[in-house]
Amino acid sequence: MNLCRAASWLLLAAPAFAQINNPCPNAQTMQVCDIVFEMPEAEASRFRNPYLEVTLQAEFRSPKFRTFLMPGFWAGGNRYVIRIAPVEAGEWLLRISSNVQAWNGQRGQFQAAESNDPGFLRPANLFHWSYTEKRQPHLWMGDTCYTFPWIDRAIFDQIAAKRGEQKFTHMRGLVMHPDETKYRKAFLSPDTPNNEYFQELDSRIRALNDKGMFVDLVLAGDENHLVKVFPEFRQRERFLRYMIARYAPFKITWQGVQEFEEYADGRALLKEIGAFLKTHDPFQHPRSTHTTRTSGPLLADGWMTHILYQSSDDQIGAIERQVLLTPRINAEFAYEDSGAGKSHPHHVDTPTFRKRLWNATMNGQYPTYGNTGTYGGKAFPVDAKFLDAPAAKTMADWFDFISRTRFWELEPYFDVDGGRALYLAGVEYLVYLENGGAVELVTEKKGYKVYWFNVETGELITEKKDYKGERFSGTAPGAGPWVLHLSRDGRKGSMLNSYYFESRRQFVQEVESNAQRVPYDLIEPQSDALAVGKPVKFAVKLKRETRATSKMMYLWTAEDTVGGQGYRVVATGPSGEFTIPRSISKSLPSVLNLRVYGMNANGKVYAIDRVMKLAE
């Protein structure tokens, strides 16, 4: 703590200012406490719009001398609230600042008792998650219900209860819905929040937290929705401050807007939003944004803590896992259609969903589920009868199985034939066999228990004979998708006793861009100029055939180097056609950088670039 701040807190002992009596009775760590203020009528007459004109905030000092600056929010009428979640046990001190004379300078203190709650979330081990107050790993498994703030309360309560039973740890939904003719407005005007709506949202977020779920808040819909509601920067800033005041003390994450690529100048808007949240959210909740494919293009702006995906394309997920060093969540690799119907290509049957789930896992992505009958899409009503859909059980089985592993240390493994793998060297190996069959992989020479996990049923089979050696060979017990698990169970048990969270340094590879060492050439497009919105042929050609190049993945990205919108994924694979989207550029003509990443069977990533002209 700096000396000025320390000196200011010494003034808490002075008797000149009014005290707030018992501000947080029965407080416990990580439990939300509301400190309520009623404005005197004599002062209320000074403010025509309290949302715009009243300032209220509290500076909290924790028992360990951490400082949290929490804004207050208007709660209707002459009522205002400052909300806090004490993160430490012991004595908390607070001081009020306000342009309401009766409140300004008030001080108070309260005792917070220790609870068993491990805290909020933070990124850990480059690609994973831990809790903030206890050094414990967090297994992110999400569900989607965009309309959870608006659906009938009885249906919402069923969803919250069932998803809690099914072990989901996150629920994703909208704060504001773009269809205000169908759903109650969150804001009656840019400067008037609908307090009745937000009180209900408070209650529902609290209920989901009580069921063990973090709430992933998507602030607004697609197609410029946020800017349509708040066209001016100051309006968006007030909205974000209001959101922090009401929801930062809850178990939440920030997920920006739906499909940022559909916003005019979406990168700048998200940087504005993300930078504000990074600066003013005192609990530093995880930040990212929804996307049409990947939010990776925004990572360089410095405000995101993780990448979101809306893609089942394994080439995007696998290659970005090797070059972008941050956790990743696949929020829309598929939605299960178990009877409600389909309206989009990624609405798939249950077997396809299972395959996409496990491929996302092998890409190093944490999954978010969706069912067309419960995700709250525009085409389908939310119907509780789909809560027990087959893939919801698959998600619960996935959670149980992954919880057996040191998932917070797993990384992709490539020395395997017959499947896709994750591993923690010398401790455990997971191999996904999409169609069953034979598998062979190189291991450290240790003794391992051998398990087979049936993806379709959730059954776990233990082989009677352990394995010890350096090259495992085996065959799945049956047809269909299986996961092989080689595990040193005793070793994992002893690891938990001596060190809990990380046992080895992360390897970060350098992308090879030396043209002499890149094993492929860019053949198409041949022209040095491209036009937006028009199909373009693309192709690469291998220079040499080796075991490593026998299995290549390719990722094609394009970036207007002048426009500042970031790169866009335009294609995957060795050849085909792509179209440069108009949103890639603010103005034309411009300069385009076309990049082709290639990843070989050993996980080595290469890149070649071509600078081209971009025109209408």
Q: How confident is the model at residue 16 (pLDDT cuts 50, 70, 90)?
A: low
| pLDDT for the residue numbered 6 | 39
How far apart CA 297 and CA 568 sit, in angstroms, is: 7
Angle 520-415-550 (CA atoms, 0-180°, nearest 5)?
Answer: 30
| pLDDT for the residue numbered 15 | 44
What are the contacts of 38-41 at 24+ separation with CB within 8 A?
A: 38/78, 38/79, 38/80, 39/78, 39/79, 39/80, 39/100, 39/102, 39/103, 40/102, 41/78
Name the amino acid, one letter, at 413: Y
Q: What is the average pLDDT score of the chain? A: 94
Q: How confident is the model at residue 14 (pLDDT cuts 50, 70, 90)?
A: very low
Domains located in the chain, CATH noted: 3-113 (2.60.40.10), 138-403 (3.20.20.80), 418-498 (2.60.40), 520-615 (2.60.40.730)
| pLDDT for the residue numbered 13 | 43
Across the range 114-129, mean pLDDT stands at: 95
Helix axes of 350-362 and 314-323: crossing angle, nearest 10 degrees: 20
Across the range 422-435, mean pLDDT stands at: 96
Angle 260-263-265 (CA atoms, 0-180°, nearest 5)?
Answer: 105
Across the range 293-300, mean pLDDT stands at: 96
| pLDDT for the residue numbered 499 | 65
| pLDDT for the residue numbered 495 | 87
Percent of the chain whose predicted confidence (pLDDT) is above 90:
88
Across the range 320-338, mean pLDDT stands at: 95
| pLDDT for the residue numbered 167 | 97
Q: Provide the CB-side half-sphere exposure for 272 (13 A, CA).
A: 18
Neighbour-count burial for 27-56, b at 16+ CB within 10 Å, e otherwise: bbbbbbbebebebeeeeeeebeebbeebeb
Helix axes of 233-247 and 266-280: crossing angle, nearest 10 degrees: 40
How far apart CA 607 and CA 320 sit, in angstroms, is: 12
- Residue 4: pLDDT above 60? no
**Closest residue by Cα to residue 272 from 283, 287, 250:** 287
Q: How confident is the model at residue 1 (pLDDT cuts 50, 70, 90)?
A: very low
The model's pLDDT over 471-521, given as tens digits with 9 standing for 90+, comes to 999 999 999 999 999 999 999 988 887 667 777 777 778 999 999 999 999
| pLDDT for the residue numbered 12 | 45
Say if residue 589 is preceded by a cis peptide, omega within 30 of 0.
yes
| pLDDT for the residue numbered 135 | 85
Helix (H), strand (E) at residue 50? helix 50-53
Residue 175 per-residue DSSP state: S
Who contacts 152 (Cβ-Cβ below 8 Å, separation ≥6)? none
Please identify which residue in the block is written with the tokens 């959210």: 281
Across the range 353-361, mean pLDDT stands at: 98
| pLDDT for the residue numbered 260 | 96
Contact 266, 256 (CB under 8 A): no
Percent of the chain whose predicted confidence (pLDDT) is above 70:
97
How far apart CA 250 and CA 97 sit, in angstroms, is: 23
- The DSSP code sequence of 508-568 is -PPPB--TTT-SEEEEE--SSEEETTSEEEEEEEES---TGGGS-EEEEEEEETTT----E
Cβ atoms within 10 Å, residue 146: 20
| Residue 385 φ/ψ, nearest 5 degrees | -65, -15
Please identify which residue in the block is written with the tokens 């025509």: 48
Across the strands, what pairs with 491? none
| pLDDT for the residue numbered 17 | 64
